[in-house]
Amino acid sequence: MTPGMKRPPISVLVAIAVMGACWLLARWMVPNTYMADERHRAPIQSLVPHAFGQWQEEESGMVVVADPTLQSSIDKLYSEVVNRTYVDRNGHRVMLSIAYGKNQNSHSTAAHRPEFCYSAQGFLVERHGNRPLQLNDHVIPTARVVGKLAERHEPITYWVTLDETPTLPGLSRKIQQLRYGLQGKIADGMLVRISTIGNSTEEEFAVHDRFVREWREAMPEAHKARFFGS
């Protein structure tokens, strides 16, 4: 130390040391491992069956077609998007949309709520709350909404997965993101959306539940948790 200069107070030295330690800890805790790369994820398209239970894929079906601007945002956000329409022997039609993203670690990269997509295309969206969906051995959380545009009345059921954990956008997803982040992991995941066209909202939701249960039963055991949790 130069003669005449005063030694910094101990409290200042401690504060500098703490700040340095915090910086190092923050750097160490930044997630940098993509779980999708570790697990060598197969494409979603190859895993979803074209027929199962009473359901058969229909080559041409009613889907929400995004305008070019919205489609560009979807393409940037998601690694893979699968859209299919299924019909059963009684003529019920279910639209299935799965949007998969390799990085689900932050608000800007995680799957977005379907309400935003529908609202952006002119739909009036009504929320019908969150409901647990009972599967054979566990329950998954689902959100229910209804999109309305002119004569089109579209009940929608959806959920989100982080790795193999089913959740919903909001606090529960943030907690899961933090849990993976503290392990240095960047979780992948997907938005699963099921919808139908019909004015009897509760009957349509019942069709959604049946569709999900039959779909899960038809999935190979090794891939069930990725879509429905465990």
| CATH classification of the domain holding 84 | 3.40.1000
Structure confidence at residue 178 (pLDDT): 80
Q: In this structure, is residue 150 part of a structural domain?
A: yes
pTM here is 0.80
> CA 176, CA 229: separation in Å to the nearest integer?
13
Q: In this structure, is residue 84 part of a structural domain?
A: yes
Q: In this structure, is residue 25 part of a structural domain?
A: no
Name the domain count of the chain.
1
Phi, psi values for residue 57, rounded to 5°:
-65, 135
Q: Assign 3-class secondary structure to 1-33.
A: CCCCCCCCCHHHHHHHHHHHHHHHHHHHHCCCE
For residue range 77-97, list pLDDT tens digits in order.
778 899 999 999 999 999 999
Q: In this structure, is residue 9 part of a structural domain?
A: no
Structure confidence at residue 196 (pLDDT): 96
Q: Assign 3-class secondary structure to 91-122.
A: CCEEEEEEEEECCCCCCCCCCCCHHHHHHHCC
For residue range 38-75, list pLDDT tens digits in order.
887 889 999 999 999 999 999 875 555 455 445 556 66
Q: In this structure, is residue 2 part of a structural domain?
A: no
Per the structure, the complete domain to which residue 49 belongs is given by 33-228
Q: In this structure, is residue 4 part of a structural domain?
A: no
